[in-house]
């Protein structure tokens, strides 16, 4: 037996039905769709999710859980360990210097200093918010906090 001798089993393969190719084909005139009605039309039938005119499930359920507070303010978080690594003793930390050092991307985003890590430098911090632990660490290192 050779590869060119292989054939599918008799009756396992059927030709596809070619509808709408004249009456002598056996599937002419109405092309197997019947005479009238929704399913006989081009593009006919009901779409996915159609429930017989009842409001579909996807439209009955709420889109997302909960709600979004449109007045929420997102702060860019900066830890004191990062300030310790990037700023020299006696420097001022504000949005412009943070952008210059690549800590935050834009100076119009509100900044909050958080207390993760250690601080050993005397810094003047002028940002929008400072956490209580960060404020304690900055003041313990001899710095000043001027939250705007």
- Give the domain CATH number at 129: 3.100.10.10
Residue 148 has pLDDT above 80, yes or no: no
Tell me, yes or no, whether 29 lies in a domain.
Answer: no
Q: Measured between alpha carbons, how far is 108 from 82 in angstroms, rounded to an integer? A: 20
Model-wide pTM > 0.95: no
Total domain count, the chain: 1
Tell me, yes or no, whether 7 lies in a domain.
Answer: no
Tell me, yes or no, whether 59 lies in a domain.
Answer: no
By residue range, what is the domain housing residue 108?
Answer: 76-147
Tell me, yes or no, whether 84 lies in a domain.
Answer: yes
Residue-wise pLDDT for 48-76, tens only, equals 999 999 999 989 988 888 888 999 999 99
Q: Measured between alpha carbons, how far is 35 from 29 in angstroms, rounded to an integer? A: 9
Mean pLDDT of 80-94: 95
Tell me, yes or no, whether 131 lies in a domain.
Answer: yes
């Amino acid at each position: 037996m050779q590869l060119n001798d292989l054939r599918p089993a008799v009756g396992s393969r059927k030709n596809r039905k070619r509808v709408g190719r004249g009456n002598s084909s056996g599937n002419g005139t109405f092309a197997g769709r019947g005479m009238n009605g929704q399913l006989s039309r081009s593009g006919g039938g009901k779409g996915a999710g159609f429930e017989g005119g009842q409001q579909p499930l996807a439209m009955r359920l709420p889109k997302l859980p909960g709600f979004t507070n449109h007045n929420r303010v997102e702060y860019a978080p900066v830890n004191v360990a990062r300030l310790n690594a990037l700023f020299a003793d006696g420097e001022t930390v504000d949005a412009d210097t943070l952008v210059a050092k690549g800590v935050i991307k834009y100076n119009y985003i509100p900044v909050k200093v958080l207390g993760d890590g250690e601080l050993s430098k005397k810094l003047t911090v002028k940002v929008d918010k400072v956490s209580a632990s960060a404020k304690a660490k900055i003041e313990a290192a001899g710095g000043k906090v001027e939250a705007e």
